[in-house]
Structure 1
Amino acid sequence: MQSKQTVRAAAVQISPDLESLSGTLEKVLAVIDEAAKDGVELIVFPETFMPYYPYFSFILPPVKQGKPHLKLYEQAVEVPSATTDALSRKAKQHSMVIVMGVNERDHGSLYNTQLIFDATGELVLKRRKITPTYHERMIWGQGDAAGLKVVETNVGRVGALACWEHYNPLARYSLMTQHEQIHCAQFPGSLVGPIFGEQMDVTIRHHALESGCFVINATGWLTDIQIQSLTDDPEMQKALRDGCNTAIITPEGKHLVPPMTEGEGYIVADLDMGLIDKRKRMMDSVGHYARPELLSLRIQNAPSQYTTPMFQTPIVESSIEVTGESNHEIITNSEI
């Protein structure tokens, strides 16, 4: 368990550079420097913020997505790369835990990936969204449960999920069983309309209550000029407005500071880690309130394998050990 009694956290809501990864990275590094002046120890950025969330996939039919999809490939982040090195250096420079959402390129596929850099600069978690939602399935491949991990960091035990993964109760429960203290949530923002932000509020507050942890939620923001650059259809432009709810939630389900629902910036709050025990004294979903003999979770947490040998040569070893009147036969790697 971490020893910090108070953690200063920030949730960021800014717009990406829709033209280049380098432009978005420049904005990210500037925000980190600014937050460091405020004493921030943990900072969370929006879903796939680097280079940008694929908003085009929500408003364009598949037949028209080829060009912007290939552009996203060109700007996507490889792990490791010069981009991740820059984030690592910045984390170490400011002794800050950084949670970043990226479009990760792995050879011929893109993934919705969450990265957690510890205050030492070490990349302590790289996980991929297990199931892209609706239009996102045209863009990203599926992740696996190997990334459903809570990691020890300078600010405590940190877990992360992206967007509608928060509607997968088993995914959330897998992190709860690992006793996460701070949950980092990432959503795209500037999508769907006001109802998206309203639903988000319910979702993150419920997770805070159910898991007895803090939730730091970051959403992206599109400017009017950016929205107009994505589509000149007024109806489609409506689909790229609102839907933001950048927030910091206590284990009691309360907003520590007013959430950001529009504009650019970030919110900062001090997390009183003692509130975790206060909540879990009443209801610990993976402890005294659980009934594992009745309900339990099975997780396939091995990384996805793309090749599996069809035939293996069996190795048979046998030996007889005689000790007194007892014979013990040991057979390993049997042909059976």
Structure 2
Amino acid sequence: MTPARTVTAAVVQAAAPLFDTPAALTRADELLREAVGRRGAEVVVFPEAFVGGYPKGLDLGVPVGSRTPEGRDLFRRYHAAAIEVPGPEVATLAAVTRELACHAVVGAIERQGGTLYCVALFFGPDGYLGLHRKLMPTAAERCLWGQGDGSTLPVIDTGAGRLGAAICWENYMPLFRTAMYAKGVDLWCAPTVDDRDAWQATMRHVAVEGRCFVLSANQYLRRDALPADLHPVRGDAPDTVLINGGSVIVSPLGEVLAGPLRDGEGILTATLDLDDLARARFDFDATGHYARPDVFALHVDESARAAVTYRS
């Protein structure tokens, strides 16, 4: 009998202090070492905007048609806490995954000039491997982050499985999902800050539709992780929960393997039987034998879109 092919996956449920990038890197280092060293994880997924922060409950002074000086200065602080890719913070994280010989997907806020992007950074035993920029920021996020383009839709072959990422509500975009399914994603990483119960149904749906393992990592964020001079809409009591987790790991047939985790920080792990991928795809392959290309077609533009190009 052929021995089972397995990989141990972990999702991290935590947050770092807002506007404190060194603290975020220290936390990422500690959590990676715990997930890999103590729990045996080979693939580790962090939440959306773990490095750079998610300013939950802040409005940045953007009533329709105007901006406030206070909001502009708050954006300045957020911009300063973001990271450049490549850059020293990326090099720091890459050194950890090289040392631990693991793969990791880390949510971050990327700074490129005057624009910020919500990104998923991919790391492996060889260091930094690439990034995915969120294609469509949700609601008020559009005041903070730019839109990614089709040039950052990587799928990383880890040797054990193919790793891809959809950030938060990108998981609700059916054409995005279809494009990623066509790339053969086996380990679907879903960094998020959505702590609603409906998110659990979405993660199980993606797993069943994509016939892939889903690794969803959410933040657990309290008011005391924000600077004292900020005033989130949910209140100023230090123990007020702003994001209440819900991290989860799901099998290709929709079985919840770990989680959902609520009401605190933690790390979920599960041993994934990679042969379950073929078992699940026996009767459904969204872009393979269950597709109807004679009726439906999706065209994906993966070219980079620059606002200015120079020709000499």
Q: TM-score, normalised on structure 1?
A: 0.83
User: Is the alpha carbon distance of 1:306 and 1:31 closer, same or farther for their aligned partners in structure 2, counting shifts above 3 Å?
Assistant: same
**Local SS of the residue matching 2:47:** coil
Q: CA RMSD in A?
A: 2.4
Q: Number of matched residues?
A: 301
**Does the aligned pair in 2 maintain the 1:96–1:118 contact within 8 Å?**
yes
**Local SS of the residue matching 1:68:** helix
Equivalent residue, structure 2, for 1:330 = none
Q: Quote the Cα distance in structure 2 between the aligned partners of 1:199 and 1:279.
A: 24
Picking from 65, 71, 77, the partner of 2:77 is: 71
Equivalent residue, structure 2, for 1:324 = none
User: Is the alpha carbon distance of 1:290 and 1:78 closer, same or farther for their aligned partners in structure 2, counting shifts above 3 Å?
Assistant: same
**Does the aligned pair in 1 maintain the 2:164–2:189 contact within 8 Å?**
yes
Equivalent residue, structure 2, for 1:249 = 250
Q: Quote the Cα distance in structure 1 between the aligned partners of 2:289 and 2:246.
A: 32
Q: Quote the Cα distance in structure 2 between the aligned partners of 1:233 and 1:291.
A: 47
Tell me the amino acid that sits aligned with residue 188 of structure 1.
Answer: V
**Does the aligned pair in 2 maintain the 1:51–1:75 contact within 8 Å?**
yes
Equivalent residue, structure 1, for 2:123 = 117
User: Is the alpha carbon distance of 1:244 and 1:173 closer, same or farther for their aligned partners in structure 2, counting shifts above 3 Å?
Assistant: same
**Does the aligned pair in 2 maintain the 1:11–1:216 contact within 8 Å?**
yes
Tell me the amino acid that sits aligned with residue 94 of structure 1.
Answer: L
**Local SS of the residue matching 1:263:** coil
Deviations 1:206-244 (A, max 9, x none): 110001000000011112423694427556989963552
Equivalent residue, structure 1, for 2:65 = none
Structure 1: give runs of 5+ residues left out of the alignment: 190-195, 313-336
Equivalent residue, structure 2, for 1:326 = none
By relative contact order (CA 8 Å, sep 6+), the higher-ranking structure is 2
User: Is the alpha carbon distance of 1:197 and 1:228 closer, same or farther for their aligned partners in structure 2, counting shifts above 3 Å?
Assistant: farther
1:219 maps to 2:225: no
1:207 maps to 2:178: no
Picking from 144, 149, 158, the partner of 1:139 is: 144
Tell me the amino acid that sits aligned with residue 252 of structure 1.
Answer: L
Equivalent residue, structure 2, for 1:197 = 196
Equivalent residue, structure 2, for 1:318 = none
Structure 2: give runs of 5+ residues left out of the alignment: 63-67
Tell me the amino acid that sits aligned with residue 88 of structure 1.
Answer: A
Q: Quote the Cα distance in structure 1 between the aligned partners of 2:292 and 2:125.
A: 37
Q: Quote the Cα distance in structure 1 between the aligned partners of 2:249 and 2:55.
A: 25
Equivalent residue, structure 1, for 2:105 = 99
Q: Quote the Cα distance in structure 1 between the aligned partners of 2:104 and 2:284.
A: 30
User: Is the alpha carbon distance of 1:303 and 1:290 closer, same or farther for their aligned partners in structure 2, counting shifts above 3 Å?
Assistant: same
The sequence identity of aligned pairs, in percent, is 31
CA displacement at 1:261 relative to structure 2:
1.8
**Does the aligned pair in 2 maintain the 1:56–1:68 contact within 8 Å?**
no
Q: Quote the Cα distance in structure 2 between the aligned partners of 1:24 and 1:228.
A: 14
Deviations 1:195-216 (A, max 9, x none): x421211111111000100000
Deviations 1:53-87 (A, max 9, x none): 13254x45323422221111111111111111111
CA displacement at 1:48 relative to structure 2:
1.1
**Does the aligned pair in 2 maintain the 1:133–1:164 contact within 8 Å?**
yes
Deviations 1:89-113 (A, max 9, x none): 1111111101011110011111111
Equivalent residue, structure 2, for 1:36 = 36
Tell me the amino acid that sits aligned with residue 6 of structure 1.
Answer: T
1:155 maps to 2:160: yes
1:7 maps to 2:13: no
Q: Quote the Cα distance in structure 2 between the aligned partners of 1:136 and 1:239.
A: 22
1:27 maps to 2:27: yes
Q: Quote the Cα distance in structure 2 between the aligned partners of 1:80 and 1:4.
A: 37
Q: Quote the Cα distance in structure 2 between the aligned partners of 1:157 and 1:232.
A: 39
Q: Quote the Cα distance in structure 1 between the aligned partners of 2:234 and 2:216.
A: 29
Q: Quote the Cα distance in structure 2 between the aligned partners of 1:232 and 1:147.
A: 32
